[in-house]
Amino acid sequence: MSGAFDRKLRDVRRRWSVNILLEQLALMAMLAGTATALAVLTERALALRFVAGWHLAAGGAIAAVAAAGLWLRRRPSPIQAALLLDERLATRERFSTALAVARSEDPFAAAACEEAHRAAEDVRLGKHFPVCFTRRWLWAAAAWTAFAACLLLPEMDLFGHGAERAQLQKKAQELAQAKAQVVEKIAPIQSRIEQLGDKALAEDLASLDDLDKSLQADDLKRQAIRKLSDLDKKLSELQQAPEVQAVQELESMLRRLKGDRGDLDQQLTHALAAGDFDKAGKILEDLKDRLEAGKLTQEQREALARQLENLARQMAELAADKKALEDALKQAGCDSKLANLSPDQLRKALKDAGLSEEQIKKIMDKAQAQQIAQMKCKSLGKSLGKCAGGLCEGTGAGAAGEMAGTLEELDNLEAMKDRMKLVKATQEEIDAAIALLGQGQCAGGLCQGNGPGNPNGPPQQAWGNRDTGGDEPTNTAKTGVANQDTEEGPIVASTYVKGPQIKGTSKRDYQAVVAAAKDRAAEAVSENKVPRQYQSAVKDYFDEMGDAGK
């Protein structure tokens, strides 16, 4: 009988504990739903965002732990279960008394326990101790329903802070995008600067990492554009250096090289005349290998010797020619004979002629570049002459050794050309970076950015439909004003138009006008006032004008 009593008592405790747990869970669910609904309502009212998904997960975990803690504290003890059993079954403390005196040896206590054990066999707990949900679950459901309703509310932004925060977030995003854009466009430029091996340029480019990160996106881009423009200017100065211009002067000299029908390899002369030092070096190296291997006949060796000797003689003549400097002096209005003066004498003569410092510097740089080009041309000619001499002496090994020295000179010239190409490619990268970073920046009254009508398209000036006039008929009429004839006065404005010349109407020598205009255009090109992609077109235009006037 003791078994039935204990089972019924445990069953009462279990059912009571489950009801307590459900009640605590309902309480926590109601509190969590109310707090979450209030948080979402606050978000909608103030246009804030402070509730995240992990907040809900963390809140649910805390509510579950709190419910478990309260349940552990409020679980019924065996004596409490016995008292509740007496209360629900109206047994007049029969079960609680039996439990209290279970260890007593008193006959009365033993009789009470025996009676309680017999009564426990007939007890049905399902009706008196049901497991059920309380009204708190209705309040919990109402709280979470309110939370769901709050999710559907629009943002009200009662105090206007939401718009301000959105604007700040937008600016922060734009600034981050601008930083990423600057870094993206600097990367290829940095690679080319590293190939140039110029520490000063590398340091200037590294200064872009020190941009003021507190600026707005447009200001950050403008700051990057200024630094890139300064770098482009330094690269332009590097291109205008006499050592660099000397290679161009040398190419101009070598264009006048002429071959002979008796030459062994016409391609060698053509490559040198075209300024393709790499190709000329490969051709000469092939001739050197054939010479060392004994694959050249005596007749071929003699033909090669004549060709190299002819090239050496032509280069010696070209090295003594100062036509380019003479032309520059003529364009400046000076005597071409000044080209024969020493640098100090030339500078003094130009200053005495009244030329500006800028003009003097331009001519002096031209003279220095030509002098360097003449030295290189003379050195290359001497090297080719030594190769020819070795062939004439009949010592193939000696000629091959001299060719090795010539190949080294050609490699140095090609390296300088490659450096010039790398500088130009770097400038093109800078131009592309400036163009991209400049999108959306206003310049000259035209804001080159994406507008509302074309958010992803190219820069536009305006969008939208325009009002047009009616269908009224229109016509033109010739009108004029009777002016009083006056004496001929000075010309207040004039323009030059490309076209056929009419005899008797020219007021100024055509060639002089073209020369002056060409000089101004060349100056604009050298100072980067003409965009790089249009420089060749400008040069061709003025060359064509000069040819038309001949």
Give the residues across from 447 on adjacent strands: 442
Query: Cα 523–524–526 angle (5° rounding)?
Result: 65
Q: What's the whole-number mean pLDDT along residues 383-398?
A: 73
Instruction: Provide the 3-class DSSP secondary structure of residue 451.
Output: strand
| pLDDT beyond 70 at 212 | no
Contact 372, 243 (CB under 8 A): yes
Residue 537, pLDDT score: 75
451 by Cβ neighbours in 10 Å (0-12 / 13-18 / 19+) ranks as middle
pLDDT by residue (tens digit) across 154-207?
878 777 766 777 777 777 777 777 777 777 777 788 777 777 777 777 777 777
**Rounded distance between C-alpha atoms, residue 264 and residue 304, angstroms:** 5
141 by Cβ neighbours in 10 Å (0-12 / 13-18 / 19+) ranks as middle
Tokens of 258: 């002429």
Q: What's the whole-number mean pLDDT along residues 60-86?
A: 85
**Rounded distance between C-alpha atoms, residue 197 and residue 467, angstroms:** 59
Q: What's the whole-number mean pLDDT along residues 69-93?
A: 80
Phi, psi dihedral angles at 454 (to 5 degrees): -145, 75
Residue 464, pLDDT score: 44
Q: Best-predicted range by mean pLDDT among 53-57, 134-138, 350-354, 434-438? A: 134-138
Contact 367, 375 (CB under 8 A): no
DSSP label at residue 121: T
Residue 463, pLDDT score: 42
User: Within a 10 A sphere around the Cβ of 387, how many other Cβ atoms?
Assistant: 30
**Rounded distance between C-alpha atoms, residue 416 and residue 390, angstroms:** 28
Q: What's the whole-number mean pLDDT along residues 80-109?
A: 72
Q: What's the whole-number mean pLDDT along residues 108-126?
A: 69
Contact 532, 431 (CB under 8 A): yes
| pLDDT beyond 90 at 34 | yes
Name the nearest CA neighbour of 6 among 160, 117, 92. Answer: 117
pLDDT by residue (tens digit) across 322-341?
777 788 788 878 888 888 88
Query: How much is the mean pLDDT over the chain?
Result: 75
pLDDT by residue (tens digit) across 486-537?
555 555 555 555 555 555 545 455 666 676 676 677 666 655 566 666 767 7
Residue 516, pLDDT score: 67
Residue 453, pLDDT score: 39
Q: What's the whole-number mean pLDDT along residues 301-315?
A: 85
